[in-house]
Amino acid sequence: MELADIINPNNLVYEKPKLLTENTMHYCPGCSHGVVHKLLAEVIEDLDIQEKTIGVSPVGCSVFAYNYIEIDWQEAAHGRAPAVATGIARTNPDKVVFTYQGDGDLASIGTAEILHACNRGENIVVIFINNGIYGMTGGQMAPTTLLGQITATTPNGRDAGRNGYPLKITELIAQLPGTSYVTRQSVHTPATIRRCKKAITKAFQAAMDKKGTSFVEVVSTCNMNWKMTPVKANEWMVENMFPFYKPGDLKDSSKTDPESYTPIKN
Amino acid sequence: MGELRLMKGNEVIAEAAIRCGCDGYFGYPITPQSEVMETLMDREPWNETGMVVLQAESEIASIHMVYGAAASGKKVLTSSSSPGISLMSEGISYLAGAELPCLIVNVQRGGPGLGTIQPSQADYFQSTKGGGHGDYRLIVLAPSSVQEMNDFVELGFQLAFKYRNPALILTDGVIGQMMEKVVLADFIPRATEEEIDQKRGSWVTNGRKPNRQRNIITSLEMDSGRMEQNNLRLQAKYDRMEEEDVLFEELQCEDADYLLVAFGSSSRICQKAVDQAREKGIKVGLLRPITLFPFPKKPIAALAKRVKGILVVEMNAGQMIEDVQLAAGNVLPVMHFGRMGGIIPSPGEVVDALEQKLIGG
Ligand SMILES: Cc1ncc(C[n+]2csc(CCOP(=O)(O)OP(=O)(O)O)c2C)c(N)n1
Ligand code: SF4
Ligand SMILES: [Mg+2]
């Protein structure tokens, strides 16, 4: 058998999504961001919406998300991506708009923007990368940091008395009538990656069907600032984060229409 | 000739926005400008032109909604009053950094802090020197009548799109709340997606079209060399504004011995003060900057060579006076008269100040 018999289009089982650019990713090896980017590129390609999708990148390690997926992008200020996405989606109702945000961005500085965008039921997709830490600025405590977790600003572990409690913002968001599909995923094994892709696909479909906001949390690792190897980080995540941030769907009304209302006359 | 109506300044902003083919308004209530959004909600332009009107959760959200829509090539505005504009400063800096056109209306009230709901001109520095972080400028238009509230909406958008830069209408509670006759503009249809792609396709992010490269809207640049180039490009743009788009009005300056310089509602008071002073035999003229940035440096420098003294009249502690002094140079006395806290000076007070500070009582 010749090499050409093996490397042959008929034998192709895997290729890089066409929408992923050739730019070298700046993420640390083992970081979850890269995997989620790949899934996003695949979903956008599968749904054939690359000509009408606008991505909104946050402030955080994924600030440069726009370098990696071949679509139009806007870079938002820290925490404001849901407001930026609202502005795009409201004035361009036939486009597909998503935000990509870290836990500091979404659950701390941008809490107001995310809650209100979800509460208004903006027809957007939110991809929420929860790595329990501020990756970009060097590993400080995030609102999602677990009790006892060591970070640059909680060197002896997060203490509830001093630092408050970890915030389950996804549970809060699932309460809002404006959201249609709210799920918590991860990307640490081939099986979870496949499941996460399904979830992202469903989220995009729901937003395109105008069912309200869809929200996909991805419980993630930041092996760099957790100061672990990628393998150890995955184990740590399963052991420590999953009991608190339980993977699975929190809400699925992606097939039902948003609630209507009767005006109250006075 | 457009339709003649008797309207409040704030209502006119709303009406003018609908008529000029605006795609969206995002705002948050604050006195003395809430009528802008109230008028829009009452008019329901989404039924008429398709314009979106959204009450946001804060001024921070409003300005970032403007950012998103503007970056998709849409013609959008927001309005607020002083404390709300402070909150918007983050977004305004991002808009300027990403070179996005939009219109912001500041119906000023007195500060600092929560201050007062009464009118003021104390946001001159904030408006003309940037306001948020970084080296940037806004195009700042200062209307002095309800008619100009109407006219400056479309003018503001034209300049914003010409330069890909945010434009600000800097007005105050006097003009926002005042009722005057106004000739409304004729309706301009909203731009279609094809028109947007044709005019702004080189930068808009409304979905990567097959015939163009993908666009990215960002103010981020990690390479200092390239970031300096970005800054130089912005500065060149601001210089071009100073060359091409300075607006001002001169009133009775031909034979003037003394010059008043005032903008917005203060300039209305100064018009009366000019008449009163002339009745007393003092030859006074008025220069009214219409664009506060770019500032009318040249006409002030020219007048500074002819008059004996300049009195800058503002409803603040002395802000525009710094630009007047810079323009005039050290060739004559440049004095300030201002009231604060929401107090509107009377024409008589202005004449008294002129006599005391410049003519010598
Ligand atoms: C207004 C503002 N405050 C602070 C920062 C600094 N900053 C940059 S990224 C970041 C935290 C990002 O953490 P997260 O959202 O969790 O993203 P990650 O890097 O972990 O993916 C902070 C505080 C900023 N850029 N802007
Ligand atoms: S610092 Fe953390 S979040 Fe950022 S790229 Fe590295 S591993 Fe990923
Ligand atoms: Mg994080």
Residues of A in contact with B217 (CB under 8 A): 73-75
- Give A8→chain B minimum CA distance, Å: 29
**Phi, psi angles (nearest 5°) of residue B109:** -130, 170
What is the side-by-side order of every strand in the sheet holding B291-293? Answer: B52-55, B24-27, B76-80, B102-108, B166-172, B139-141, B291-293
| B4-183: CATH class | alpha beta
CATH number, domain of A90, equals 3.40.50.970
* Residue A214 resides in a domain: yes
* Residue A8 resides in a domain: no
Please name the member of B74, B90, B220 whose beta carbon is closest to the beta carbon of A91. Answer: B74
The answer to whether A49 touches A208, Cβ cutoff 8 Å, is yes
The pLDDT, as a whole number, for residue A5 is 86
- Give A74→chain B minimum CA distance, Å: 5
Residues of B in contact with A87 (CB under 8 A): 24, 26, 64-70, 72, 76
The pLDDT, as a whole number, for residue B1 is 65
The pLDDT, as a whole number, for residue A266 is 72
The answer to whether B53 touches B25, Cβ cutoff 8 Å, is yes
Is a pLDDT exceeding 60 seen at residue B319? yes
A135 lines ligand 2 (CB under 6 A): yes
The pLDDT, as a whole number, for residue A6 is 85
**d(CA A179, ligand 3 centre) in Å:** 23
- Please write the tens of the pLDDT for every residue from B106-156: 999 999 999 999 999 999 999 999 899 999 999 999 999 999 999 999 999
Question: With 0-12 CB in 10 A as exposed, 13-18 as middle and 19+ as buried, what is B69?
Answer: buried
Task: Give the count of domains, chain A.
Answer: 1
Confidence of residue B2 (pLDDT cuts 50, 70, 90): confident
Q: Specify the fold of B248-359.
A: Rossmann fold (3.40.50)
CB–CB of B24 and A90 under 8 A? yes
Atom of ligand 1 nearest to the CA of B90: 1
B53: β partners: B25
- Please write the tens of the pLDDT for every residue from B245-257: 999 999 999 999 9
- Rounded Cα gap, residues B336 and B348, in angstroms: 15
- Give A19→chain B minimum CA distance, Å: 11
Q: How many CB pairs under 8 A join A and B?
A: 129
Atom of ligand 2 nearest to the CA of A30: 7
Q: Give the residue whose CA is nearest to atom 1 of ligand 2.
A: A135
CB–CB of A91 and B205 under 8 A? no
The pLDDT, as a whole number, for residue B157 is 98
- Rounded Cα gap, residues B142 and A30, in angstroms: 55
ipTM for the whole complex: 0.97
> What does the pLDDT profile of chain A (266 residues) look like in tens digits?
888 888 888 888 888 999 999 999 999 999 999 999 999 999 999 999 999 999 999 999 999 999 999 999 999 999 999 999 999 999 999 999 999 999 999 999 999 999 999 999 999 999 999 999 999 999 999 999 999 999 999 999 999 999 999 999 999 999 999 999 999 999 999 999 999 999 999 999 999 999 999 999 999 999 999 999 999 999 999 999 999 999 999 999 988 777 777 878 77
The answer to whether B266 touches B166, Cβ cutoff 8 Å, is no
The pLDDT, as a whole number, for residue A10 is 87
Question: Which residue out of B76, B90, B206 would a mutagenesis test of the A interface target, given it has the greatest number of A Cβ atoms within 10 Å?
Answer: B206
Q: Establish if B54 touches chain A: CB-CB under 8 angstroms.
A: yes
Residue B247's CB is within 10 A of a number of other CB atoms, namely 16
pTM of the model: 0.97
A61 lines ligand 2 (CB under 6 A): yes
Domains of chain B, by residue range, sit at 4-183, 248-359
- Rounded Cα gap, residues A102 and A119, in angstroms: 19
Domain carrying residue A113: 26-252
Cα B127 to the center of its chain, rounded Å: 8
**Span between the terminal Cα atoms of chain A, in Å:** 84
Is a pLDDT exceeding 70 seen at residue B328? yes
Atom of ligand 2 nearest to the CA of A27: 5
Q: Give the residue whose CA is nearest to atom 6 of ligand 1.
A: A137
CB–CB of B217 and A80 under 8 A? no
Peptide bond into A17 cis (omega under 30): no
Please name the member of A72, A87, A95 whose beta carbon is closest to the beta carbon of B64. Answer: A87
- Give A140→chain B minimum CA distance, Å: 22
Residue B322's CB is within 10 A of a number of other CB atoms, namely 16
SS3 A66: helix
Return the closest-CA partner of residue B93 out of B156, B166, B29: B166
- Please write the tens of the pLDDT for every residue from B213-243: 999 999 999 999 999 999 999 999 999 999 9
Question: Which residue out of A74, A94, A115 would a mutagenesis test of the B interface target, given it has the greatest number of B Cβ atoms within 10 Å?
Answer: A74
The pLDDT, as a whole number, for residue A8 is 86
- Rounded Cα gap, residues A67 and B192, in angstroms: 29
The DSSP H or E segment spanning B79 is strand B76-80
What's the number of CA atoms in the CB half-sphere (13 Å) around residue B244? 10
Q: What mean pLDDT is predicted for residues B185-207? A: 97
Q: What mean pLDDT is predicted for residues B30-55? A: 98
CB–CB of A92 and B67 under 8 A? no
The pLDDT, as a whole number, for residue B341 is 93
